[in-house]
Amino acid sequence: MSDRLRVGVVGLGYWGPNLARNFAQLPDSELVWCCDSDDERQARFAAQFPDTRMTGRFDDLIEDETLDAVVVATPVPTHHALARRALLAGKHVFVEKPLAWTVAEARELEALAAERSRIVMVGHLLRFHPAVVKLRELIESGELGDVLYVYGNRQNLGVIREDENALWSLGVHDISVVLYLLGGRPVEVSARGECYLRPGVEDVVFGYLKLASGQVGHLHLSWLDPHKMRKMTVVGSKRMAVFDDMEADRKVTVYDKGPVLTAPGKISTHTGDITSPAVSREEPLRIECQAFLDAVRSGDPGHPANAAEGVAVVEVLEAMQRSLEQGGAPVTLEGVRA
């Protein structure tokens, strides 16, 4: 391995160029290849990445023995096949979210990474957002008391998808954040949704996750809503905290509010200060890309957003999808690893 990790990005659509830009800019990596099956996409980015070789053949990346890592930023149904081929060729792999289309595919990638001692990281971007990390610090420090429940709002008007429903399109990030904040996996989930615009594609989904600890997560996912909301609220027994990604400066707010036992059987409420802790302004995507490079260098399979985390999120997505199809019936997750 040379000083700088040699990285190739496959997929130069909407999101891939953001990953390519970061791997081209970070001092620990060198963007050696960009691959897209569309010639026009290659031509568009050739000028932006003049030191990078452009190709339409994924095999060029696989066959390059000097390439350390492959970044997969193609549509979800292609994740498993491309990541699998990269792992079999001995490359470390960063896969955009979700890790794969099915739990079986995600587990196969996890097993392959372990077998080949390669890093597989999934692009659970919000898990690297300094505000989400701050929420986790607040939880771990005990400042919020016992965390009772967490809920996410991801609503807007559009983008209206034809192929994926609101759960798969919008829910991945929120599920990864709920699991990260609560530090466990749900034993039971349910989801209800409605298809207002296209038959069979839910525009609005309400999801519910319950952990063995009794803690609960709730998600409101919609592209048919007047509000643009990107919010995660943590309700603790002592205090409550909110991450609002639509706020420019005050990303995290802590509310010193909560229930107070005034006499046996008598519960009142307390309202104190509202504060906003400092949160780094560093680009979450840059932090995420650096975390991947660090994981490759350290070889630590316990790195953030590892394959096991990717599998956990796909397990929740698949179980919630089953619940959606059964009109919101609770679905138990088998053999959940605490």
Instruction: Give 78 or 102: the residue with its C-beta nearer to ligand NAD.
Output: 78
Gap between the Cα atoms of 295 and 284, Å rounded: 16
**Angle of CA points 119, 124, 128, to nearest 5°:** 95
Q: Which is nearer to ligand NAD, 77 or 142 (CB)?
A: 77
Binding site for ligand NAD (CB under 6 A): 10-16, 35-38, 41, 58, 73-76, 78, 96-97, 123, 125
| Least Cβ distance, residue 186 to ligand NAD (angstroms) | 22
Rounded-to-integer distance, Cα 209 and Cα 218, Å: 6
* Tokens standing for residue 210: 């319950």
Residue 72 Cβ vs ligand NAD, minimum distance, rounded to whole Å: 8
Q: How far is the CB of 146 from ligand NAD (least distance, A)?
A: 31
- String of DSSP letters for 284-300: HHHHHHHHHHHHHHH--
Q: Whose Cβ is closer to ligand NAD: residue 144's or residue 178's? A: 178
Minimum CB distance to ligand NAD smaller for 72 or for 139: 72
Angle at 245 (CA atoms; ends 241, 247), nearest 5 degrees: 90
Closest to ligand NAD by CB, 146 vs 163, is: 163
> Minimum CB separation from ligand NAD for residue 244, in Å?
17
* Nearest-approach distance from CB 12 to ligand NAD, in angstroms: 5
Letter for the amino acid at 276?
Answer: S
Taking Cα atoms as reference points, which of 132, 131, 108, 130 lies closest to residue 120? 108
Dihedral of alpha carbons 294, 299, 304, 305, sign:
positive
